[in-house]
Amino acid sequence: MRPGARLKTLLASLALTTVLGPGAALAAPRVVAIGDIHGAYPQFTAMLQRVGLIDAKLHWSGGDSILVQVGDMLDRGAKPREVMDLLMRLQTEATQSGGQVIVLMGNHEAMNIVGDLRYVTPEIYAEFADQESAHRRKSAWIAWKHLLTRMARRHGWRPRPLGSDAQKEFDEKHPPGYFTYRQAMSAQGHYGKWLRTLPAAVQVQGTIFVHGGLSPNLSVRTVEDLNHAVANEISEFDRDSARLQALEVTLPFVDLPEMLGLLHDELQRRSHSGPASASEARQELQQIENRWGDLSKTLIMGPDGPLWFRGYANWTPEEGAPEVEAVCREWNASRIVVGHSPTGTPGDIVSRFGGRVYLIDTGMLPGHYPGGRPSALELTPEGAKAIYPAGEAAPAAWQGKFSSLRLPSLGRLGIMVSPSVALNGWMGAGLPVPAEQASQQQQKQAPDQEEEGAAVEPHESAARVWLGPDGKPLPFHDEGEILDFLRTADVVSSKLMNVGINATQRLTLQKDGIVARAIFRVVHEEKLRKDLPTGPVLNFKDSYKSEVSAYELSRLLGMNDVPPAVLRHWNDEDGSMQLFIEQGQMELDRFKEHKPLPNAKVWLQLFDMHVFDNVIGNIDRNQGNILYDRLGRLWLIDHTRSFSRSPRLPDASSVKRCSLGLWNALRRLDMAQLQAHLSDSLYKAEMKAVLERRDAVVHILQNEIAKRGRDAVLFDLDKALGSIDVLPSEPVAPAPSGPGGGGAAAVR
């Protein structure tokens, strides 16, 4: 589809909605907004039925209602194809009934358009494998070999031989269904054509819907201009991609890293080809690399773009309120509804800044993040209503306007925590909940919430802060950016730590003006029996891969106290690259100095630490690998001696209590989640052992609950607000026991 035709289609599809300003709200039908889907087809259809938009046969039954899906249909979950097919069909059916289905572009749609496939799983590719013949796969391999050969020969280079090992690597990188998937998502593909018509934002009845948000730094100030700019940028990318293929630099199926890598290689070769370095073609290639070499500067992939912006979730009430007010005024909007950013209270829609912003990404995909569930936000002239699966409670009501609350234990640290506006029943800017009604709602719902582990008084967590070597916050918006930095940043200096036996190095990394430090570990030892100072250990494992496994599993379990870590090849060695915790104090030093624990939340997190260590089979927790940063937060480091194939718990007696969030996440953990997130760092037998140890831990906690009562065993971390003024009665972990046992202590 030509860019002009695409824009006409886009504007025509928005004609019914963008003309409806705030004054038209009373005469307008209801609007239902649904957040990120990520291939969770069963959960998505169940929620559409729950809100009365489709019938039992999945056909439109919403009459003149308007459905707005705010993007991120794709990636992670296995059924994005079914999600797209359903929405494309419902767009036609709704129009025939006087309603409308509006689907917005999310950052994951944009990622697939440009070929950033990091979240496309083998299961997703498999949905397209039935249309992919063996001949097509063989032809792709031949085309790839011919491309590399031609690129080398036209500059007088000797082609690199590509034998059976290279073909095996090619097949592993391109699993069954890959080539059909890429074609379907292309500018000429069935789904790709449709994705390119999706708007970045839409305004309905005075409310702007957008996937990430409207940053104050955007150069446009109207929905129409924003959609024009996004569509034009995508069209420009498609033209550049086609041009690179015409110049025999890339192939239609290559992903984004391959495209940029091939382009860079071609430019490097042309720079050594004499007069060709000044050729018109080289200048054209350089311009293309300048446009797409740094995607953070683009509208569709940049952190301030409408698809990636996270300010509405990360801003404190004090800094965000005036920004949001200015955005609403400049864009002529009464409120903004966004997905993309988890709400801070898993599974719950959250309202911020006096009802000006609604965060509706509640983790619909099972296992996407702990505590997630499907949800919908219903907007009518009477207000806004959060809808969850039948039988599941909404958060307890808060009365009055949105306000900030400075908590005693965190106030001295300068951290702000704020309650969310009521989401139970009707809510809206300036719509209070009667005191009697709120009290009845709280009494009715409290037991269900306790059973499910939901917070009775949900609050918004302060934005996470990562420190650089200079002690100043690093400019990362989320952990995805940190992981990318750890994978790709240049190593500008290294230092071999002088204690320990694992050749651990502390590196200084730099990329795009950002400087941060990281720990690089290369240890990898597996033995059936290992004699340690504490005694013999069977099924011994000491591996850098466990650092990444510990981080990934901690995120699956909703924990935020293991530093981000990735697998990386550096200095001719495979290892783990983990963010260094600046200005951290070891538990060993804190205990020796008789200092109090930073706060009650940290004290409770130590119970979760023991649960986590038993689940991962960590045999090396000690006071040298427990840290507290200058903001009073707990960090758990050095997990190399974890994730063996033994189902035995390393210290069952330490399992005594557990947070509600971790308790629920543990019980939901399954093999599919582990394979989706840990397949690069764990074998299946090791994953099986994780689940066996999990079962044992859950059994212990169930017995504790039966003996001591639920309230004595399970606790809500978000209610741990007091400071700890005295030391615990006993150490939280043993001191380092030998030259190997304190390896992590040496790097802190």
What global pTM score does this model have?
Answer: 0.56
What DSSP string runs through 16-53?
HHHT--GGGGGGS--EEEE---TT-HHHHHHHHHHTTS
93, part of any domain = no
611, part of any domain = yes
The two three-digit tokens of residue 184, written as one number: 């379907």
DSSP state of 516: E
Do 370 and 558 form a contact (C-beta atoms < 8 A)?
A: yes
378, part of any domain = no
The list of the chain residues with pLDDT below 70 reads 1-28, 156-157, 159, 272-278, 344, 393-464, 498-503, 720-748
Do 565 and 681 form a contact (C-beta atoms < 8 A)?
A: no
Task: State the total domains in the chain.
Answer: 1
What is the pLDDT at residue 575? 94
> Any idea of the CA torsion for 334, 338, 342, 348, to the nearest 10 degrees?
60
Helix/strand/coil (H/E/C) assignment for every residue in 540-594: EEEECHHHHHHHHHHHHCCCCCCCCEEEEEECCEEEEEEECCCCCEEHHHHHHCC
What is the pLDDT at residue 213? 96
Q: Specify the amino acid at residue 118.
A: R
511, part of any domain = yes
DSSP, collapsed to helix, strand or coil, labels residue 156 as coil
78, part of any domain = no
165, part of any domain = no
Rounded to whole angstroms, how far apart are CA atoms 102 and 88?
A: 10
Neighbours of 391 (CB within 10 A): 6
Task: Find where tokens 């597996």 sit.
Answer: 526
Q: Is 198 exposed, middle or buried (0-12, 13-18, 19+ CB in 10 A)?
A: buried
Closest to 88 measured CA to CA, from 103, 109, 108, 106: 103
What is the pLDDT at residue 464? 62
665, part of any domain = yes
- The domain in which residue 606 lies consists of 479-746
Beta strands in 132-272 (DSSP E): 201-204, 207-210
How far from 681 is each of 118, 548, 550, 676, CA to CA, in Å?
A: 16, 7, 10, 11
pLDDT per residue as tens digits for the range 687-739: 999 999 999 999 999 999 999 999 899 998 877 655 444 444 444 666 554 43
654, part of any domain = yes
Query: β-strand 514-521 against 573-579: which pairing, if any?
Result: antiparallel
The two three-digit tokens of residue 697, written as one number: 């831990």
